[in-house]
Structure 1
Amino acid sequence: MTDSAVDMVHLNIHQRQSIGHLVEPAPNVAQLEKAFQAALTAPDHHRLKPTRFVIISGDQREAFGELLSKALADLGETDPVQLERVKNHPFRAPLLVLALTQFQPHPKVPNFEQTLSTGAAIQNFLLSLQVQGFSSMWRSGAVIESNLFKQALGLAEDDLISGIIYIGTAAKVIPARAEINTQNYVSYWNK
């Protein structure tokens, strides 16, 4: 890989950031396929493939908003303002993708490693979308703990909804991320 190609990869990684206001266009089927292919190359001990994705687009966002509201109520929320607010969350972007972790029993691969694998898959997914010109926001919130929500997605109680990824095009130009001083976060181990 040439130095300029390496620089482009680093720039894509460095400039990735969450964008809250997303509009059309969203990725098409071929662009999403590229992002899913990238996602599923994430580190995955014993290739258990615990990561799953569910696409929510177009008119399905309304039904998904209803599910979010029911899931929040399942967790004990009774405020009608909050229940209505979460019902509108899917309209923050033209496309949503749920990232799920379905744990695969294995004597050498604990659940936390499978959770990390899904996190790495999500990061690959976000970077692939970005290099294709799209923006995203990875969200979670209390609603992902709802057993009603998990059941609606065909998950077991101990499986994870690892995030709701909102995808589209940034509504406005976002300032570049500031350079990070890695010395605040990196040290050398010394016996």
Structure 2
Amino acid sequence: MADLVTDTVHHNIHQRQSVGQLLEPAPSAEQLEKAFQAALTAPDHHRLKPTRFVVISADQRKMFGELLSDALADLGEADAVALERVKNHPARAPLLVLALTQFQPHAKVPHFEQVLSTGAAIQNLLLSLQAQGFSSIWRSGAVVESKLLKQSFGLAEDDLIAGIIYIGTAAKTITARSEIDTQNYVSYWKQ
């Protein structure tokens, strides 16, 4: 039984890919809750819980797109085409989730560890969604640095918007990922 579970977990990890064309259905509230529960089990030194998630529902996407456009303009973007393009980004998926890092002060837990904790939480979220039959893509871009956008979500200036996760059902079948030759990325320390 343990081998079957291990194989299933590894298969899910190996098959996870970013999917840019996402359609309905999106996860239900229960499925999303299951994914958030998985996300928040990520490694977290001293259990500071720096990771936050904000759900942008289908009916909020237009308003969120306008906020993204305003945030990009606040960063100095003046090109009307670029502003219109970012305004339409939320329409790429039926559900969006913002992943945030709200830094928690702690003498033994530097900011970089809290950022890594959020990254691990996002990966858990993506894997849980995939295990439930959904697809996703994790995006960021210059707009996540906007003070206006951060303020809109109650973040301090040094907090991070780690990304915008687009969630839904894949519009088309994605080719399976090739096996990775780990020899190019793994070495063993020799004294």
TM-score for both structures, normalised by structure 1: 0.99
> Residue 152 in 1 paired to residue 152 in 2?
yes
Q: Which residue of 2 aligns with 1:95?
A: 95
Match for residue 72 of structure 2?
72
Percentage of matched positions with identical amino acids: 80
Residue pairs, 1:1-191, within 5 angstroms = 2-191=2-191
Structure 1 letter corresponding to 2:78: T
Distance 1:60 1:19 in 2: 21
CA distance in 2 between counterparts of 1:78 and 1:92 reads 23
Q: Where do 4+ consecutive residues of structure 1 move more than 2 Å?
A: none
Residue 151 of structure 2: SS of its match in structure 1?
A: helix
SS of alignment partner, residue 6 of structure 2: helix
Whichever residue aligns with residue 186 of structure 2, its letter is V
Structure 1 residue 29 displacement after superposition: 0.2
What displacement does 1:70 show?
A: 0.4
- SS of aligned partner of 1:53: strand
Q: Deviations over 1:86-112 (max 9, x none)?
A: 000000000000000000000000000
Deviation of residue 5 (structure 1)?
1.3
For these two proteins, the number of residue pairs brought into alignment is 191
Residue 47 of structure 1: CA displacement?
0.2
Shift of 1:2: 1.5
In 2, Cα distance between the equivalents of 1:4 and 1:150?
43
With the length of structure 2 as denominator, give the TM-score of the two structures.
Answer: 0.99
Q: How far apart are the structure 2 equivalents of 1:137 and 1:189?
A: 35
Listed as ranges, the gaps of 5+ residues in structure 2 are none
The Cα shift of 1:59 comes to 1.5
Distance between the aligned counterparts of 2:48 and 2:162, measured in 1? Answer: 16
In 2, the alpha carbon distance for the partners of 1:11 and 1:107 equals 39
Task: Give 1:4 deviation, angstroms.
Answer: 1.6
Q: For residues 38-74 of structure 1, what are the alpha-carbon distances to aligned partners after superposition, in whole Å with 9 as ceiling and x for unaligned?
A: 0000000000000000000122000000000000001
Distance (whole Å) between structure 2 residues aligned to residue 150 and residue 9 of structure 1: 35
Distance 2:84 2:139 in 1: 18
CA RMSD of aligned residues (A): 0.6
The one-letter amino acid of 2:146's match is S
- Alignment partners' CA distance in 2, 1:113 and 1:30: 30
Deviation at 1:119, TM superposition (A): 0.2
What amino acid sits opposite 1:185 in the alignment? Answer: Y
Q: 2:163 aligns to what SS in structure 1?
A: strand
